[in-house]
Amino acid sequence: MKNFIIAAVGSASFIASADAGVLGYSAFSYTASNGNVVIDVFTVVSNASDRLLNVYNVNLTTTQGGSTLATFVQQAGTATRGWKPDATTSTRSNDVDSFMTIGVDGGAPYEGQYYASAGTGADGNFTNWSSLAPTVPANAGWFLSPPTLPDNVAESMAGMTGARINSNAAAAGSNLGVWCSHFVIASGDVGARWWNATAASKDGITGGTVTNTGTMQMLPVPAPGALALLGVAGFASRRRRA
């Protein structure tokens, strides 16, 4: 079975205000038993009491600043849901469906499973929110309603498994985050995925709202053993780990 990890490459950037709150993004990825690559994206924050309010102006493309939308797996038979999370199947362990969320439903796992927040809604730019479209529209966004639910409070990411890739050094320095996306990439699909988004958080210390914009490339690359084989064939790509 071919293994892949998600890499953030050198031009990753992050713009942040002087306040605390959002620090960057982290992606945790692994190859599931069916060969699909599963990615969970977190908005990384600085305080345990920070809340993620919404993610917006999201562009998921195949090149940096490009217009070609990246594709992800959508589970067949769920046409009324699409990118909208489902109360029974939208979990972190799901390896056949992609969806968005603002945190964990109820603010804690249920019987060992982390479910996407049922309070997650889409803004007007997310025109295929409830369809099986494999792409996310340009400048799409999603939010939690009401924002006072326990779902959007920071959680520890220390227990996350798989390869962790960070958008910047500040994100790498924190183990606190709010789950905001779950992507599944079809087995064998190794095309680049660029993430560009703005996140708004409520600082748990000051109570202020902080908005931040981050860009990173999520790129499936062969695991080290496969890279060695590529090297023998006369080709190798450099992989950076945050």
Question: Mean pLDDT over residues 4-29, rounded?
Answer: 60
Query: In terms of C-beta density within 10 A (0-12 exposed, 13-18 middle, 19 or more buried), how is residue 19 classed?
Result: middle
Contacts of 216 (CB under 8 A, 6+ apart): 8, 12, 13, 25, 27, 165, 167, 194, 195
Looking at the domain assignment, is residue 26 inside a domain? yes
| Amino acid occupying residue 147 | P
Looking at the domain assignment, is residue 99 inside a domain? yes
Looking at the domain assignment, is residue 52 inside a domain? yes
Looking at the domain assignment, is residue 86 inside a domain? yes
Q: What is the pTM of this model?
A: 0.84
Looking at the domain assignment, is residue 239 inside a domain? no
- How many domains are contained in the chain? 1
Looking at the domain assignment, is residue 14 inside a domain? yes
pLDDT tens track for 189-233:
978 898 999 999 999 988 999 888 888 887 545 544 444 333 333
Looking at the domain assignment, is residue 172 inside a domain? yes
Q: Which domain holds residue 118?
A: 4-232
pLDDT-based confidence at 156, cuts 50/70/90?
very high
Looking at the domain assignment, is residue 238 inside a domain? no
- Among 77-81, 117-121, 227-231, which is the least confidently predicted range? 227-231
